[in-house]
Amino acid sequence: MNLSSRILSMQSSPIRRLVPYAQKAKKNGKKVYHLNIGQPDIKTPKSFLQSIRDFDQEVLEYSTSQGSEELRNAMINYYKNYNIDFELDDIFVTNGGSEALLFALIAVCDPGEEVLIPEPFYTNYSGFSDAINVTVKPITTSGDNGFRLPSKEDIEKTISTKTKAILISNPGNPTGAVYTKDEVMMLASLAKEYNLFIIADEVYREFVYDGLEYISFGNIKEIEDRVIIVDSVSKRYSACGARIGSIASKNKDLMRNILKLCQGRLCVPTLEQIGATKLYETDKSYFEEVNLEYKNRRDTLYSKLIKIEGVSCQKPTGAFYIIAKLPVDDAEVFVKWMLEEFDLDGETVMMAPAEGFYKTKGLGRDEARLAYILNEKDLIRSVEILEAGLKAYNNR
């Protein structure tokens, strides 16, 4: 009565497996600043809850497998702001971006086939891939140059006859990198030349700073039948608990087939779709406000971080993460130590060790991901604690 090899091969989430240490620290009376997860403190627009409160049908019925037309139309309007032109049958609502990702991988890859993913990457990319026997081939990038993509020639070396797709998050989690037009077009031309899909995880689309130009893979007409857009309300509207995502593509054959997966799980929650429809109708000014808040947080965290002796990182331009190199051998050991052994006046900090974001063994061992999802006062205090912790750790 053995479990499957595929589930045994899955890694525990490197972010979530340290949670018990944080829980123990809190039980012992420590305050823990959580920079380890992407749970923003920004208020969810009130329209979400309000519209759900107004629901008064006596039977909570199934929605359609594709997702409600109201929500899909609201998404279509949202995409129009980015010059992405979807029709109703091009978009299905999913259980978070996670399900969209899973459906895309199932639809594109058979067991043993490969997806290229720039590393470091969102760890669940490899988790889902393992679960359904898809092989991840990393495209290695480095914090030293702000996680820029390697040259086309270097990426070509990782492509084999089994390669079916490039999976990329833009802006990047955990890197905070925003890919340039040249980088995006280079991947597009690779997709065309090698007959690949592009699975574009663009859930951080609004989180781009410094007036940078943002190019969505949905903007490239020449490869529109190759592009699968994964999206979510979680970060966009600070509604992580809603679990509303979407999968969208102009490839009709692909979407007809993905519909079978949607039908298999019947539908996405009815109420959450009502709320999410209102979220997508939120005025654009909301994003400006939120964007400014995150930009300020990034500036604060970055400027404080680089002043710590031995810490190095580049200033990220998107999402809400910084990957920092720390003056330690093993960031996971250090993060545990911070939770178990250290406090500054009863307070400590939790980060996400970055090794789990890399597929290539040995990379990222001295790196951690910090999410700037706390207010500036808390961020400043967190860096103070981190600095004191590093000093104490290296003077043990």
Select the residue interacting with a copy of itself from 47, 51, 73, 98 (CB under 8 A).
98
Among 29, 61, 83, 362, binds a copy of itself (CB under 8 A): 61
Tokens of 128: 């889902």
- Residues 59-69, buried b or exposed e (16+ Cβ, 10 A)? eeeebbbbbbe
Alpha-carbon separation of residue 329 from 88, 227, 325, 367, 368 (angstroms): 51, 40, 10, 9, 12
In angstroms, the CA 46 to CA 39 distance is 18
88 lines the binding site for a copy of itself (CB under 8 A):
no
Q: What 8-state DSSP symbol labels residue 308?
A: S
Closer to a copy of itself by Cβ: residue 109 or 155: 109
For the segment 140-159, give every residue that binds a copy of itself (CB under 8 A).
none
Q: How far is CA 380 from CA 38, 301, 383, in A?
A: 18, 7, 5
Is residue 271 involved in binding a copy of itself (CB under 8 A)? Answer: yes
**In terms of CB distance, is 11 or 303 closer to a copy of itself?**
11
Name residue 96's amino acid: G
Is 11 a residue that touches a copy of itself (CB under 8 A)? Answer: yes
Six-digit token pair at 149?
């993509």
**Among 30, 72, 205, 226, contact with a copy of itself (rule: CB under 8 A):** 226
Q: How far apart are CA 120 and CA 140, in angstroms?
A: 7
Three-state secondary structure call for residue 371: strand
Encoded amino acid at 195, one letter:
N
Range 33-52, binding a copy of itself (CB under 8 A):
37, 39-44, 48-49, 52
Shortest CB 144 distance to a copy of itself, Å: 30
Q: How far is the CB of 232 from a copy of itself (least distance, A)?
A: 10
Q: Phi and psi (nearest 5°) for 302? A: -60, -50
Residues within window 104-123 making contact with a copy of itself, judged by CB under 8 A? 106-111, 113
Structure tokens at 107: 């639809």
Site for a copy of itself, residues 195 to 224, rule: CB under 8 A: 195-197
Q: Which is nearer to a copy of itself, 178 or 244 (CB)?
A: 244
Q: Supply 211's token pair.
A: 């007036």
CB of 170 to a copy of itself, least distance (A): 20
Quick one: which segment of 74-82, 124-132, 304-312, 381-389 binds a copy of itself (CB under 8 A)? 124-132
Residues 65-84 within binding reach of a copy of itself (CB under 8 A): 65
Q: Which residues, numbered 230-259, are part of the site for a copy of itself (CB under 8 A)?
A: 238-243, 253-254, 257-259
- Nearer of residues 191 and 305 to a copy of itself, judged by Cβ: 191
270 binds a copy of itself (CB under 8 A): yes
| Binding residues with a copy of itself: total (CB under 8 A) | 79
Cα–Cα distances in Å, from 350 out to 132, 302, 330? 31, 17, 15
| Residue 163 is a binding residue for a copy of itself (CB under 8 A) | no
Inter-residue contact 200 to 218 (CB < 8 Å): yes
